[in-house]
A and B are shown apart, each in its own frame.
Chain A
Amino acid sequence: MAELRDWQHLPVAGAVRPEEAARPLTGGWRTGERPAVDLPKCVNCLLCWTYCPDSAIVLDGETFAGFDLDYCKGCAICAEVCPVGAIAMVAE
């Protein structure tokens, strides 16, 4: 954790530049379930990538390649939108 700054040393209005951002790994907010893929079922439609609110679907080029669990919050939208049932939520 970075040292907390006092009020005189904060950017005006809290405008944050990328190099100054703390970048916490918000995947720690998951509450017990994470997505898991049954890769042979995947048809690479990328609906999960389209719908994921945290950009936590990892692609290799244009091919589904898994989940970024550092940022996935376990919301299960990917599992819900998957048209072929390739994604299921499993206990951590």
Chain B
Amino acid sequence: MTDIRLLTGGEAVAHAMRQIDPDVVPVYPITPQTPIIQTFAKFVADGAAQTEIVNVESEHSAMSAAIGAALAGARTITATSSQGLALMAEVVYIAASMRAPIVMALGNRALSGPINIHCDHSDSMLIRDSGVIQLFAENAQEAYDLTVLAPRLAEHPAVLLPVLVCQDGFTITHSAEPVVLLPDATVGRFVGDYRIPHSVLDVARPTTQGPFAMPDYYYEFRRQQAAAIEAAATVFADLAAEFALLCGRSYGEIERYRLDGASTAIVALGSTAGTVKDVVDELREEGEAAGLLKVTSFRPFPSATISAALAGVDSVVVLDRADSPGGTPPLHAEVAAALYGSGCELSGAVYGLGGRDLHPSDIRAAFKGAALSHIGLRGEPCRV
């Protein structure tokens, strides 16, 4: 019997964590991530998970404790948002370089300043180049499913990297919708036991981990990390196929929504993809050849898959929920690189910063080629 519950994205991820039953969760609360750890802490208090929650004094400590736990041989999950991720950032790079397979649940929230608690993707983009895998959920179901997938992606011997599962703050973290949960035992079997190549606590086989690398080796270690995240693309595809057999829900590095025969396509991350799908359906009803390319895996970025998926599309509009002052917004820049030389007409627009709503009428305008460079901004938009 299918277990369907009315859950927020935050609660759905807490259920995934309960079912994964990680050994250690070092975490510091921050809006809009708080419902994840609040709900999960209640599960632990009620005996529904055996996890040791470490109440640390900051996100810097949370991430540091997560590295220690993960490398000691404990399956480890943490969660954060915005300034919390910014405070973690130094250690996130170290987690990736030490190849610590930590699952990180993120409630996307705008970075200060001005201080704001609502959604945009500036926090994820801050650690874009840290070497961490970044998956974006469209809704609570995807946040749950991707969290269940994340430990095995992180822990795969060819990968061994942190995995960030991103869900839009408030839009997903705090909005209740029907979510199908897998049986506890199914998740337990799917994630299996935690294994890493070298435990720092293995006294019979001692290792120095995180050693200093001089100019004669630093470059080689960076390349090793890049190869690991490149390998994650294949591993994610294999895991998604196995996951689909369990529950019938399919994931890929991208989702193609009515792209067949599309003349105009929008590229977007996160919950916005859901709104774009509704507008695509309306436009298709009206005879317009509109489609959506949703990017689920922002890191590794599926350039080749995207250029193949958009071959034959005349016009592409990239929607970025993060800006890059003085430069090109991150998703736009990636898609532009992927489509370089394709002859496709490409434009980009920033939207939704600090939780500003994106209306279906804005998306409709973008499909009609009438989008501004800054959707929803009052005053004259400035083009970079």
Contact = CB atoms under 8 A, between A and B. Distances in A.
B15 to A, nearest CB: 32
Nearest to B219: A7
Given A4-B216, A6-B220, A7-B220, A12 B160 contact: yes
Contacts of B217: 4, 10, 14
B206 A14 contact: no
A10 B206 CA distance: 17
Contacts, number: 47
B223 to A, nearest CB: 4
A68 B165 CA distance: 51
Given A4-B216, A7-B224, A13 B160 contact: yes
Interface stretch (A16-24, A55-63, A80-88): A16-24
A4 B217 CA distance: 8
A18 B203 CA distance: 12
B2 interface: no
B221 interface: yes
Nearest to A9: B220
A15 B227 CA distance: 17
Interface string B209-231: 11101001101110110010000
B326 to A, nearest CB: 33
A13 B223 contact: no
A8 B209 CA distance: 18
A6 to B, nearest CB: 7
B221 A15 contact: no
B197 interface: yes
Interface size classification for chain B: 20 to 34
| Residue from A4, A8, A15 whose CB has the most chain B CB atoms within 10 Å | A15
Chain B binding surface SS class: loop
Interface residues of A, number: 14
B76 interface: no
Contacts of A18: 206
A14 B221 contact: yes
Contacts of B220: 5-7, 10
Nearest to A13: B99
Interface string B100-129: 000000000000000000000000000000
B324 interface: no
A17 B219 CA distance: 21
B206 A17 contact: yes
B208 A10 contact: no
A15 B199 CA distance: 10
A32 B69 CA distance: 42
B160 A16 contact: no
A3 to B, nearest CB: 11
B256 to A, nearest CB: 34
A63 B189 CA distance: 58
A28 B129 CA distance: 37
**The 9 residue pairs across chains A and B that have the minimum distance between CB atoms:** A7-B220, A13-B99, A7-B223, A16-B208, A15-B207, A15-B198, A15-B209, A13-B98, A14-B211
Given A10-B220, A13-B221, A17-B205, 19 more contacts: A4-B216, A4-B217, A5-B220, A10-B224, A12-B160, A12-B198, A13-B97, A13-B209, A14-B209, A14-B210, A14-B213, A14-B221, A15-B197, A15-B207, A15-B208, A15-B209, A16-B207, A16-B211, A18-B206
29 contacts: A4-B217, A5-B220, A6-B220, A7-B220, A7-B227, A10-B217, A10-B220, A10-B221, A12-B198, A12-B224, A13-B97, A13-B99, A13-B210, A13-B221, A14-B209, A14-B210, A14-B211, A14-B217, A15-B197, A15-B207, A15-B208, A15-B209, A16-B207, A16-B208, A16-B209, A16-B211, A17-B206, A17-B207, A21-B208
